[in-house]
Amino acid sequence: MNVKYLRKEKKIKMQNRLWNMIIIVSLPLMLVIIALAIVGIAYAFRYNAILSNVTTASEFNQNFKDDVDLKMYYYVIDSQYSEGLPLGEVHSAKDIAQKLNDTTTQKDSIRAISSVLSLCNTLEQKMQQIAETKEYDSRVDQLEKNIYILTDLIQKFMYTYLYYESAYLNSLQSDMVTNMILLMVIAIFFSLALLYFLLISSKKLSRKIVDPIDIICERMEAIGKGSLSVREPIQADVEEIQLLSDGIENMVERLIKQIEKNTQQEKQRRRTEFALLQSQINPHFLYNTLDTIVWLIESEEISEAVRMVASLSNYFRFSLSRGKNVISIEEEEQHIRSYLEIQQMRYRDLMDYEIDIPEHLKKYILPKLTLQPLVENALYHGIKNRRRKGIIRLTGREENGCVILEVADDGRGMTKERLEQVRSSLTDGKSQGFGLRTVHQRIQILFGGQYGLTLVSTLDVGTKVIVTIPMKTSDKEMAI
């Protein structure tokens, strides 16, 4: 495990940092909000409970004593207005007292309402006791000493209960307001503290992001101005920034290697072109051609000599091609035609040639001196080795969006083993097949690896060299 990998393991993703900050800030705020909600809800329940008790207590008959005393008086004196014992009013008071007793929590209020409930039970018993008493004086005495006193106590204790509950309700409201204000102040200070922490953390995180990005921008500006030296990636705490810096330096490193590779390819292309040009300006070819011209002049075949001189002039003029590296198929055809005219004059009993390239293909371009080495090989390694008259055919066609040029001869041909050796020499760099390999490499350097030469040969039948190039009319469209 290398150091770079260990360094990467220590990095924290920007998204994780942001989530951590959000959690650190939002979680305490949520807890404060929940606490405020709980306290508020608790106060609300208590307030509603007490308010409900006060409301229930207010249902107590405010004229309880007067009503009960009057009805008992009518009952005792056996008045025509008597409706019997006023047990309904007592039961109603008991029901109210029982409800309040079940829901009341304050001690003073509980004592008061418990007294009301107990007095109501006692009052009911005293009423039954009067009902069972026959003597008028005794009944009147019980009315004055028991009933009047009990109803007065019941009404007083009910008012006492209302007083305590109202006082507690007011106290609770005051406490609730005070506590809520205190909690809100605490929450505000706590929120400000969290906000301060968030701002400080955001500032630190932004510096950890912005500073490396500024350095990366300066680095990219330097790269744009041509500074392609490989540097050590910046050390950032954020993983995404580190990956970006590592990627830029890796890109620069690959770019440098690609530039070096392109430079080497260009040098190779220049060396190949120079070597090919040297091979074409063959002193033996020139000497032999001049000897032929001299022989024609001596034989007084002046027109043939003139034609041969013109062909030789055209041959070298097209070889130079005004310094251009690529020429049109039409120019290459004229160059080949001059070469074959010269060779036909020299080997008129040994060689014929045919050139058939469609007119619409002649506008496309190819590397200079592509076909001449192929024609020369067809002559010297094909036709001459068979020692009988042969023919060299140069044809062209369009196929699958490419230009196909074929140089075919009906000469000696090659065995399968020899054909494989020549095919291998196109790429393995061996000395044999230099001319073919040079042409093949120049085509691939200029157009790409999918183009180049293909060889087909049969012993004693002939050889065909197929040239595949793209349909391009400008050198700006080429691979380099």
CATH number for the domain including 433?
3.30.565.10
When the pLDDT of each residue in the chain is averaged and rounded to a whole number, the result is 80
Among 170, 201, 232, give the residue marking a domain's end. Answer: 201
Q: Are residues 444 and 311 in the same domain?
A: yes
Q: Are residues 193 and 287 in the same domain?
A: no
Q: Is pLDDT larger for residue 445 or for residue 149?
A: 149
**Strands across the sheet containing 402-409:** 351-356, 390-399, 402-409, 462-470, 452-458
Output the pLDDT for position 470: 93
Q: Are 435 and 279 in contact (CB under 8 A)?
A: yes
Q: Helix 87-103 to helix 64-76 angle, to the nearest 10 degrees? A: 150
| Confidence check: pLDDT of 239 > 80 | no
pLDDT digits (tens, 9 = 90+) for 124-160: 898 889 888 888 888 888 888 888 899 899 889 888 8
Output the pLDDT for position 464: 94
Range scoring the smallest mean pLDDT among 13-27, 53-67, 327-341: 13-27
Q: Are 76 and 130 in contact (CB under 8 A)?
A: yes
Backbone angle region of 369, left / alpha / beta, with phi > 0 → left and psi within -120 to 50 → alpha: left
Q: What percent of the chain has pLDDT over 70?
A: 83
| Confidence check: pLDDT of 287 > 80 | no
- Secondary structure (3-state) at 196: helix
What mean pLDDT comes out for the span 179-192?
A: 81
**449 DSSP 8-state letter:** T
Q: Are residues 348 and 442 in the same domain?
A: yes
Q: Evaluate whether residue 238 is within a structural domain.
A: no
How many domains in the chain?
2
Q: Are residues 310 and 434 in the same domain?
A: yes
Q: Are residues 160 and 305 in the same domain?
A: no
- Take residue 68 and report the two structure tokens written for it: 């009960």
Q: Are 103 and 49 in contact (CB under 8 A)?
A: yes
What mean pLDDT comes out for the span 82-101?
A: 87
Q: Evaluate whether residue 374 is within a structural domain.
A: yes
Q: Is pLDDT larger for residue 427 or for residue 181?
A: 181
Residues contacting residue 172 through CB under 8 Å, at least 6 positions apart: 43, 46, 47, 50
Residue carrying the six token digits 């630190």: 204
| Confidence check: pLDDT of 99 > 80 | yes
| Confidence check: pLDDT of 465 > 90 | yes
Range scoring the smallest mean pLDDT among 140-154, 215-229, 398-412, 450-464: 215-229
User: What CA–CA distance (Å, rounded) separates 57 from 424?
Assistant: 114
Q: Are residues 184 and 292 in the same domain?
A: no
Q: Evaluate whether residue 158 is within a structural domain.
A: yes
Range scoring the smallest mean pLDDT among 129-138, 278-287, 290-299, 326-335: 278-287
- Is residue 462 classed exposed, middle or buried when 0-12, 13-18 and 19+ CB atoms within 10 A define those classes? buried
User: What CA–CA distance (Å, rounded) separates 433 from 423?
Assistant: 9
Q: Are residues 285 and 189 in the same domain?
A: no
pTM across the whole model = 0.46
Output the pLDDT for position 45: 80
Nearest to 377, CA basis, from 307, 317, 465: 465
Output the pLDDT for position 271: 61
Q: Are residues 301 and 191 in the same domain?
A: no
Output the pLDDT for position 231: 66
Q: Are residues 194 and 308 in the same domain?
A: no
242 confidence band (pLDDT: 50, 70, 90): confident
Among 186, 201, 216, give the residue marking a domain's end. Answer: 201
Q: What is the DSSP string of 27-74?
A: HHHHHHHHHHHHHHHHHHHHHHHHHHHHHHHHTS-TTHHHHHHHHHHH
| Confidence check: pLDDT of 403 > 90 | yes
Distances (CA, A) of 417 to 424, 454, 457, 465: 11, 16, 11, 17
Q: Evaluate whether residue 320 is within a structural domain.
A: yes
User: What CA–CA distance (Å, rounded) separates 48 from 105?
Assistant: 13
Output the pLDDT for position 8: 44
Q: What percent of the chain has pLDDT over 90?
A: 12
What mean pLDDT comes out for the span 269-285?
A: 56
User: What CA–CA distance (Å, rounded) separates 358 from 347?
Assistant: 27
Output the pLDDT for position 359: 93
Q: Evaluate whether residue 247 is within a structural domain.
A: no
Q: Is pLDDT larger for residue 269 or for residue 335?
A: 335
Among 166, 201, 236, give the residue marking a domain's end. Answer: 201
Nearest to 123, CA basis, from 56, 69, 60, 61: 69
| Confidence check: pLDDT of 404 > 90 | yes
Q: Are residues 166 and 35 in the same domain?
A: yes
429 confidence band (pLDDT: 50, 70, 90): low
- For the chain, what percentages of helix, strand and coil (3-state, to nearest 5) are there? 70, 10, 20
Range of the domain at 153: 14-201
Q: Evaluate whether residue 276 is within a structural domain.
A: no
278 confidence band (pLDDT: 50, 70, 90): very low
What mean pLDDT comes out for the span 374-398?
A: 88
Nearest to 62, CA basis, from 30, 37, 96: 96
| Confidence check: pLDDT of 457 > 80 | yes
CA-angle at 217, arms to 211 and 223, nearest 5°:
140
Q: Evaluate whether residue 387 is within a structural domain.
A: yes
Q: Helix 107-132 to helix 87-103 angle, to the nearest 10 degrees? A: 160
| Confidence check: pLDDT of 294 > 90 | no
Output the pLDDT for position 430: 60
Q: Evaluate whether residue 78 is within a structural domain.
A: yes
5 confidence band (pLDDT: 50, 70, 90): very low
CA dihedral 221, 222, 224, 230 (to 10 degrees): -130
Q: Are residues 161 and 286 in the same domain?
A: no
Say which amino acid occupies 257.
Answer: K
| Confidence check: pLDDT of 325 > 80 | no
Output the pLDDT for position 284: 58
Q: Are residues 390 and 295 in the same domain?
A: yes
User: What CA–CA distance (Å, rounded) separates 340 from 338?
Assistant: 6
Output the pLDDT for position 364: 92
Most confident of 46-55, 109-118, 330-339, 353-362: 353-362
